[in-house]
Amino acid sequence: MHEHIYLASQSPRRLQLLEQWGVRCELLLPDDEEDAESLEVVLPGEAPAAYVRRVTQLKLKASLERLRRRRLPLAPVLCADTTVALGRRILGKPADEADAMRTLAALSGRRHRVLTAVALGVPGVRTDRTLDALSVSWVTFSDMSPGDICRYVATGEPMGKAGSYAIQGRAAAWISHISGSYSGIMGLPAFETAGLLRAAHVRTG
């Protein structure tokens, strides 16, 4: 039985969710010389589900290498990635406020998917064991006026968020319907993550 895991994510929401579920975590964040952002580049013609799974696996590989490079005690490593998709169009983190406003205008009055891939790496002496899962949810936005969008972007909340919004924040006021995993939309699906932790014999609760 593993008493704790490493969380290789800078998302405070993921850490908060794991702690709520009774999982002991230690952060395993990239070194300054690591180019973590380059892992999230979309390949030409890549479908959203393939993209989010691939990026999560790349994050996990880099994290397991980081664990060994730092000579830390071996324990499971959890990685996740969330993307927003409008059809086959992948809406990542906004480059700036103008980009965030364009994204929110595209989502206004429409339904889109939120895909979160989760991967758990269990390091071994000779080989690593990898478990993964994918959560797909649907989110419907009501109509947002240009003024609504400008005021929301001005709060700063959309920056650093896939799809330029956070469902647990001010954006909830315009979300008329969701179908799927609320925690998955936040960035870490409870059901799928719990299944991986059980399969890896991680203590929870």
Task: Confirm whether 87 is domain-assigned.
Answer: yes
205 is a domain residue? no
Whether the CA torsion 18, 24, 26, 28 is positive or negative: it is negative
Q: Is the pLDDT of residue 164 over 80?
A: yes
pLDDT at position 24, please? 96
Q: For the chain, how many structural domains are there in total?
A: 1
pLDDT band at 35, cuts 50/70/90?
A: confident
Look up the domain containing 160 and give its range.
5-199
- Alpha-carbon gap, residue 163 to 26, rounded angstroms: 28
* Annotation says 96 is catalytic: no
Q: Which of 113-117, 126-130, 180-184 has the lowest mean pLDDT?
A: 126-130
- The three-class DSSP label of residue 50 is helix
pLDDT per position as a tens digit, 120-163: 999 987 889 999 999 999 999 999 999 999 999 999 999 999 99
Does residue 148 lie in a domain region? yes
**Predicted local distance difference test score (pLDDT) of residue 135:** 98
In a domain, 204, yes or no: no
- The closest of 186, 166, 195, 164 to 86, measured between CA atoms, is 164
Q: With 80 as the cut, is the pLDDT of residue 116 above it?
A: yes
133 lies in some domain: yes
Please, which pLDDT band fits residue 117 given cuts at 50, 70 and 90?
A: very high
From the list 31, 32, 81, 148, the catalytic residue is: 81
d(CA 14, CA 79): 10
- Distance between CA atoms of residues 147 and 174, nearest Å: 13
pTM for this one?
Answer: 0.94
pLDDT at 205: 76
pLDDT of 48-107, one tens digit each?
999 999 999 999 999 999 999 999 999 999 999 999 999 999 999 999 999 999 999 999
Among 201, 183, 200, 186, smallest CA distance to 21 is for: 183
Assign 194 a pLDDT band (cuts: 50, 70, 90): very high
Domain at 35, CATH number: 3.90.950.10
Buried/exposed code over 17-34 (b: 16+ C-beta within 10 A; e: otherwise): bbeeeebebeebebeeee
In a domain, residue 92? The reply is: yes
Is 70 among the domain residues?
Answer: yes
